[in-house]
């Protein structure tokens, strides 16, 4: 059953005309990314940021310890094994449903889906990418940082055409010690092979975290897909 998620909300600094949903990684929370999105908000003054908190659940790879997680992880290994191993498909889809509730609320409040971007980091990126590909709403953009396509080929048997032309931005560090760089590259190639307009950026020397360069690139991407409509009227 889909959960009612808690969330961090950062309101737009001026007239609100676009919204970005950004999902955190394993064991983190919306507050973990709040300083990053707050910094981005100084450039993207028309954007509201919504940072949902994943439910607290046992995570097998961490000995069953309870933490915020979008889905269970059974093991961490090399890129090829991660793409082949058993995954908590049900957990992924439940998180998709939970975040979709928040997205529907935002649309009902007056922000059209083509002014909404869905994104995330690591496990949050995996869920965010899945939301984008499966959604019936056409979004402005999809962002995946240090993530992958968790349901692999199965994703595309469930995908709609709503975001077939939606720009997708993927970024990954080539020194990622948690989710190997190759898994990001393979996921990019999988999405590209299905005809989606996807961009993949490599960050040299970056581990399993973000960087000022990646944040700058993310801001540039958002300026392209959800430009400030307030300035257009001046």
Per annotation, catalytic residue among 174, 208, 209, 211? 208
Q: How far is CA 168 from CA 15, 157, 185, 197, in A?
A: 26, 19, 14, 6
Q: Please report the pLDDT score of residue 54 as a whole number.
A: 97
Asked if the model's pLDDT at residue 151 lies above 90, the reply is: no
Instruction: Look up residue 198 and give its two tokens.
Output: 């996807």
Q: Please report the pLDDT score of residue 9 as a whole number.
A: 98
The residues that bridge with 17 in the sheet, in sequence order, are none
The residues that bridge with 111 in the sheet, in sequence order, are none
Interhelix angle 212-225/30-41, rounded to 10 degrees, is 70
**CA dihedral angle for residue 122, residue 127, residue 132, residue 135, rounded to 10 degrees:** 180
Asked if the model's pLDDT at residue 181 lies above 50, the reply is: yes
Domains of the chain: 7-225 (3.40.50.1820)
Half-sphere exposure of 84 (CA within 13 A, CB side): 5
- Average of pLDDT values for 64-86? 77
Q: Please report the pLDDT score of residue 234 as a whole number.
A: 42
pTM of the model: 0.94
Per-residue pLDDT reduced to its tens digit, 86-132: 688 999 999 999 999 999 999 999 999 999 999 999 999 999 999 99
Phi first, then psi: give them for residue 199, nearest 5 degrees: -115, 135
Q: Is 209 a catalytic residue?
A: no
Per-residue pLDDT reduced to its tens digit, 25-45: 999 999 999 999 999 999 999
Residues sharing a CB contact under 8 Å with residue 120, sequence separation 6 or more, in sequence order: 22, 23, 24, 25, 126, 127, 128, 129, 143, 144, 145, 147
Per-residue pLDDT reduced to its tens digit, 8-17: 999 999 999 9
CB 36 within 8 A of CB 30: no
Q: Please report the pLDDT score of residue 1 as a whole number.
A: 58
Q: Please report the pLDDT score of residue 186 as a whole number.
A: 93
Mean pLDDT over each residue of the chain, to the nearest integer: 93
CB 22 within 8 A of CB 120: yes
Rounded distance between C-alpha atoms, residue 36 and residue 42, angstroms: 11
Q: Is 3 a catalytic residue?
A: no
Rounded distance between C-alpha atoms, residue 15 and residue 229, angstroms: 9
Per annotation, catalytic residue among 176, 187, 217, 228? 176
Q: Is 72 a catalytic residue?
A: no
Q: Are strands 168-173 and 18-23 parallel, antiparallel or unpaired?
A: unpaired
Q: Please report the pLDDT score of residue 74 as a whole number.
A: 83
Per annotation, catalytic residue among 29, 95, 122, 146? 122
Higher local confidence (pLDDT), 56 or 151:
56
């Amino acid at each position: 059953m889909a959960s009612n998620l808690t969330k961090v909300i950062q309101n737009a600094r001026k007239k609100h005309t676009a919204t970005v949903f950004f999902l955190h990684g394993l064991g983190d929370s919306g507050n973990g990314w709040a300083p990053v999105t707050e910094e981005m908000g100084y450039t993207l003054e028309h954007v509201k940021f919504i940072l949902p908190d994943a439910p607290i659940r046992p995570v097998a790879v961490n000995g069953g310890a309870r933490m915020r997680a979008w889905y269970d992880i059974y093991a961490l290994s090399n890129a090829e094994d991660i793409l082949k191993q058993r995954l908590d498909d049900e957990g992924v889809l439940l998180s998709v449903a939970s975040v979709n509730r928040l997205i529907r609320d935002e649309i009902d409040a007056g922000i059209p889906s083509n002014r909404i971007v869905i994104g995330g980091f690591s496990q949050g990126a995996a869920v965010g990418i899945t939301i984008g590909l499966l959604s019936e709403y056409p979004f402005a953009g999809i962002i995946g940082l240090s993530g992958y396509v968790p349901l692999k080929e199965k994703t595309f048997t469930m995908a709609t055409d709503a975001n077939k032309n939606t720009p997708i931005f993927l970024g990954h560090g080539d020194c990622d010690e948690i989710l190997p760089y190759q898994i990001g590259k393979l996921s990019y190639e999988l999405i590209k092979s299905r005809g989606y307009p996807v961009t993949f950026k490599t960050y040299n020397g970056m581990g399993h975290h973000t960087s000022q360069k990646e944040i700058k690139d993310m801001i540039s991407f958002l300026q392209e897909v959800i430009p400030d409509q307030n300035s257009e009227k001046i």
